[in-house]
Amino acid sequence: MFLKDQIPTWFAVAGYVAIAAMSTATLPHIFPQLKWYYILVIYIFAPTLAFCNAYGCGLTDWSLASTYGKLAIFTIGAWAGSSHGGVLAGLAACGVMMNIVSTASDLTQDFKTGYLTLASPRSMFVSQVIGTGMGCVISPCVFWLFFKAFKDLGDPDSQYPAPYAVVYRNMAILGVEGFDSLPNYCLTLCFIFFAAAVSINLVKDFLGKEKGRFIPIPMAMAIPFYIGPYFAIDMCVGSLVVFVWEKLNKAKADALVPAVASGLICGDGIWTLPASILAVAGVKPPICMKFLSRAANVKVDKFLDSS
């Protein structure tokens, strides 16, 4: 059934050409630094990269769309140059490339599920189109809600620091201005920590599973530096819960930990929407909790004692 109800090739090609034409015509009006020929070049090379990403995602269940987006940042940013808004052009090109490449891998995974469940690919494709159309309306509304609710959205010290924005902006600056834009000893530190990560992984693999479990994973150690400390605190508490649960009932923990963890992560993400609505309405939380350094805590205590 799945193979008999295929989507015609001419329809896919015509749809891609139509979307490319619309993007080439409209995006330069939104991002003037992103010229129409930049977008055209992206759409010419994107199918090859999308195929590679879909193939790799099918083998590993890991989409590397962000990697191809970084390629667009460096390529388009260097092409535009700093005098013609290369940073913004590179970031906008990254968004275009990532949307194309990630859509290919996502559709491949969905069609794989449809093949296993004998679903109709045409029905799945129509559902994807409907969902994409809804996203075109819902996503800007959610962003506007966050933008209005949190005046410091994106600031490093705010509730929503948007760490990826800082990382991608720095990559765009690097692509435009070269290595000279990096701080002193930045490349040296990168090489040192890269070598240290490889060495730790080699030692961990060499010692085997029994002794290697006491050696931390460099990737896990790097995540808090990349995303922020709030993520590390959540993961630490979750790991402690899993550790205690496994001690009490290992069989049940092995079966239910993924489901419970997914529910908690989704719940934490879903709560941001009502929190934004309450913030827009001007509702203040009755209790505020904040983690301070020891020096800052001493100053707060002195201030409270003096008052």
Residue spans per domain, the chain: 9-177, 181-306
Q: How confident is the model at residue 92 (pLDDT cuts 50, 70, 90)?
A: very high
pLDDT of residue 226: 65
pLDDT value at 273 more than 70:
yes
Q: Give the mean model confidence (pLDDT) for residues 21-43.
A: 92
Using only C-alpha atoms, the chain has a radius of gyration, in whole angstroms, of 24
pLDDT value at 227 more than 70:
no
pLDDT of residue 38: 93
Q: Give the mean model confidence (pLDDT) for residues 90-118.
A: 86
pLDDT value at 199 more than 90:
yes
Show the 3-state SS of the chain: CCCCCCCCHHHHHHHHHHHHHHHHHHHHHHCCCCCHHHHHHHHHHHHHHHHHHHHHHHHHCCCCHHHHHHHHHHHHHHHHCHHHCHHHHHHHHHHHHHHHHHHHHHHHHHHHHHHHHCCCHHHHHHHHHHHHHHHHHHHHHHHHHHHHHCCCCCCCCCCCCCHHHHHHHHHHHHHHHCHHHCCCCHHHHHHHHHHHHHHHHHHHHHHHHHHHCCCCCHHHHHHHHHHCHHHHHHHHHHHHHHHHHHHHCHHHHHHHHHHHHHHHHHHHHHHHHHHHHHHHCCCCCCCCCCCCCHHHHHHHHHHHHHC
Q: Give the mean model confidence (pLDDT) for residues 83-100.
A: 89
pLDDT value at 39 more than 80:
yes
Q: Two tokens at 158?
A: 């705010």
Q: Give the mean model confidence (pLDDT) for residues 250-274.
A: 83
More confident residue, 229 or 189: 189
